[in-house]
Amino acid sequence: MTRKMSAGWMVLLVPFAAALWAQNADYQPDPGWQAPPQAVAKQNPLANRPAAAAGGKKLFARNCAECHGEEGSGLVKKSSADLQLPIVQTQSDGALFWKITNGNPDRGMPSFSRLPELQRWQLVLHLRTLQPARPPQ
Amino acid sequence: MHRNLKLLLIIVLFTALPAGAQEAPYFVTYDHHLEEPGNLEVETSTTMGVPRSGQRFYFAPYAEFEYGVTGRWTSELYLEGQSTSGDSAVFTGWRLENRFRPLAREHWINPVLYLECEGINEATRIQKEVVGNAPDFGERNSESSQTHAHELETKLILSSTVHDWNLAENFIVEKNLSQNEGLEFGYALGVSRPLATLASAASCRFCRENFNLGVELYGGLGSTRGFGLHDTAHYLAPVVAWQLSDNASLRFSPAIGLTHESNPALLRFGYSYEVRGFGDKLAKFFGGKP
């Protein structure tokens, strides 16, 4: 019985440990990089068009995956944010949009204001689809 | 070592990851967007001048290597040449430019400071900027290429994004350190917009979102010896950029000369290829820490 339980834990823990190893669990957000209140309150104009997230996925692969990884889990060598973390996902759409628009050039995050506004909102839609690859609690 | 460099070039070209380089289509005007840190953009462009009577048709190609040093500093090296019909082909020099973005965030107007050192000769025809009074393009290459000029050029770049339109204004001051010509002035204005603002789900080459259209206006404003529009060249130029793939783009601009001192028309073509993570790849190749 004990051996069966250990094997079960192993099945759960190995993928969990692997996911943790691949993710940038050491990511430390920049406390000075905060969206102003009016930006935080902005609503996503594409919120009622979830199909637009597919375009966001393409944009993410082009513009963001190099530093944040295909799954958005961040890369340790780039010190980039794990976008699946609650600290990111609990931010409002407006705050994420502001961060994509402005970037944080002193911490290596470029501004993506060169992308049209709707495409930046498409990126926010896609960010909402990023789910942590973790076993259920 | 030579073999290693070839290998490096092959690795860089074939392992480059896609980059979303949706850039402004301008040839002369700069906007406030800098190269992403660690990325290298290699560009080859050409300025073709359609002459007035008594002048000759010329073809001025240049190569451009743009590297994102940090999030707020981009450095660029130019190598340029020129070929004139019925004359010769000559190397016309190099330029090293640096752009600095003083403000970290996006604002209504985003300033960028530009500083360029040039080691060129009087045979240069690329016209990456138009300053001072109209140049004399009637001289033969064998004579004009003998007159060398070390120049220092500064620009104040102001650029805004308004409802997906980019508006950019450049104010140029140039000083020829080799001759006592005073300071020369010029300007460049640009406005552009992508054809579509929503990205489609499919990867496509001919989607409207891959095209960026705009128009540029640029010209000289005389010098400290005579400021103004007298005897200056000015051009109005529609511009179009086509994002061929995730990391390659084509640009084209037919410019129309607005004054008698301008060429009647300039045709500009450009092809750029962005190598993402070039800095990391280079560091790794030489055994350093990326």
Which CATH number covers residue B28? 2.40.160.40
Task: Flag whether B189 is in a domain.
Answer: yes
Chain B neighbors of A108, CB-CB under 8 A: 37, 71
Q: What domains can you pick out in chain A, each with its CATH number?
A: 3-129 (1.10.760.10)
Q: What percent of chain B has pLDDT over 70?
A: 92
Task: Flag whether B185 is in a domain.
Answer: yes
Q: Give the span between the Cα atoms of B10 and B8, in whole angstroms.
A: 5
Contact with chain B for residue A66, Cβ under 8 A: yes
pLDDT class for A29, splitting at 50, 70, 90? confident
**Residue of B22, B105, B203 with shortest CB distance to A102:** B105
Q: Give the span between the Cα atoms of A57 and A77, in whole angstroms.
A: 23
Structural domain of B80: 2-285
Name the pTM for this structure: 0.85
Q: Is B285 left (phi over 0), alpha (psi -120 to 50) or beta?
A: alpha
Task: Flag whether B22 is in a domain.
Answer: yes
The residues with which B254 forms a beta bridge, in sequence order, are B267
Asked whether A100 and A124 are in contact (CB, 8 A), the reply is yes
- Count of domains forming chain B: 1
**CB atoms near residue B50 (< 10 Å):** 16
Chain A neighbors of B198, CB-CB under 8 A: 52, 55, 116, 118-119, 122
For B258-277, the pLDDT digits (tens) are: 999 999 999 999 999 999 88
Q: pLDDT at residue A7 above 70?
A: no
Nearest chain B Cα distance for residue A43, angstroms: 16
For A40-55, the pLDDT digits (tens) are: 999 999 999 988 999 9
> Average pLDDT for residues B174-189, to the nearest whole number?
93
Measured in degrees and rounded to the nearest 5, phi and psi for residue A98 equal -60, -40
**Residue of A62, A114, A118 with shortest CB distance to B23:** A114
Cross-chain residue pair A109–B194, CB shorter than 8 Å: no
Cross-chain residue pair B201–A55, CB shorter than 8 Å: yes
Cross-chain residue pair A116–B104, CB shorter than 8 Å: no
Closest CA to B192 of B225, B155, B160, B149: B160
| Strands B234-243 and B183-194, bridge-based pairing | unpaired
- Taking an 8 Å Cβ-Cβ cutoff, which residues of chain B contact chain A? 17-20, 22-24, 31, 33-34, 36-37, 68, 70-72, 101, 104-106, 161, 163-164, 166, 194, 197-203, 209, 246, 276-277, 290
pLDDT class for A57, splitting at 50, 70, 90? very high
At residue B279, the pLDDT reads 87
Asked whether B191 and B31 are in contact (CB, 8 A), the reply is no
Chain A neighbors of B41, CB-CB under 8 A: none
Task: Flag whether B141 is in a domain.
Answer: yes
Average pLDDT of chain B, as a whole number: 89
Task: Classify residue A100 by its DSSP letter.
Answer: H
Cross-chain residue pair A102–B71, CB shorter than 8 Å: no
Task: Flag whether B205 is in a domain.
Answer: yes
Nearest chain B Cα distance for residue A116, angstroms: 5
A 17-36 residues with CB < 8 A to B: none
Would you call A22 exposed, middle or buried from its count of C-beta atoms within 10 A (0-12, 13-18, 19+)?
A: middle
For B76-115, the pLDDT digits (tens) are: 999 999 999 999 999 999 999 999 999 989 999 999 999 9
**CB atoms near residue B147 (< 10 Å):** 13
Closest CA in chain B for residue A104: B104
Structure tokens at B8: 């490096």
Task: Flag whether B290 is in a domain.
Answer: no
Chain B neighbors of A118, CB-CB under 8 A: 164, 197-198
